[in-house]
Amino acid sequence: MDARILLASGFVALAAIAGVLVVAASPEKPEPASLAEARLADAGGKTPPPVAARPAPTPGKDEPFVIKRILPISGAIKYGEWHWDDKNVPAGPIVVTVDLEARVLSVFRSGYEIGATAVLLGTDDKPTPLGVFPITQKDKDHVSNIYTGAPMPYMQRLTNDGITLHGSDVALGYASHGCVGMPNDFAAKLFSTTKLGDKVYITRGKQVGMGDSLVGG
């Protein structure tokens, strides 16, 4: 069965209601993608692909709903890979989760996982922040006014100091300035699915299973 890895530090563990997923064995925890890794690859070093089990959120104060489906994805999600299946999924609250350890973003609608992708994250110098962030702005054709006009297609703002979700070239050796970058095609689907106020849970390393409580709102 599929694994879900989320942030353990600073959050209360989710109560398993039924069918807890088994965490698959994985390689050593990968270091954040960085220019240093890119240089290592250019020099002939062998950097393993990231472990990419799909995450689920930590409970908060909002009204919870229950995980009813996990996408049947075999193995780790590699950089540039994404999955989306919302067929026959009922309308309902959207929850987006980002697991910094797995480097994976998941999308849940009404308790059903409908999307998952590997993502780019920040570096140690400019890390992706932990926490719960409502989407406060959406701009399909956004251009950064902080990072010298860098294109950020399908931008969804999380913080006032420039942390966003957006489309990006997702590949090993690349990193962001703290934003969550995802393949453009996936970013377009996510952009069309969310609305202002939908929440994004950025966490690290927690196991979750079918029937566990998932935060909605």
Residue-wise burial string across 166-176, b where 16 or more C-beta atoms lie within 10 A, e elsewhere: bbbebebbbbb
Tell me if residue 180 falls in helix, strand or coil: strand
| Residues of the chain falling short of pLDDT 50 | 1-48, 51, 56-60, 217
pLDDT digits (tens, 9 = 90+) for 106-145: 999 999 999 999 999 999 889 999 999 999 999 998 776 6
Question: Tokens in use for 155?
Answer: 């931008």
Report the Cα 10 to chain-centroid distance in Å: 18
Residue 96 one-letter amino acid: V
How far is Cα 144 from Cα 2, in angstroms, rounded to an integer? Answer: 37
pLDDT at 173: 74
pLDDT of residue 113: 96
Q: Does the pTM exceed 0.75?
A: no
In the chain, where are the structural domains located?
35-133+194-215
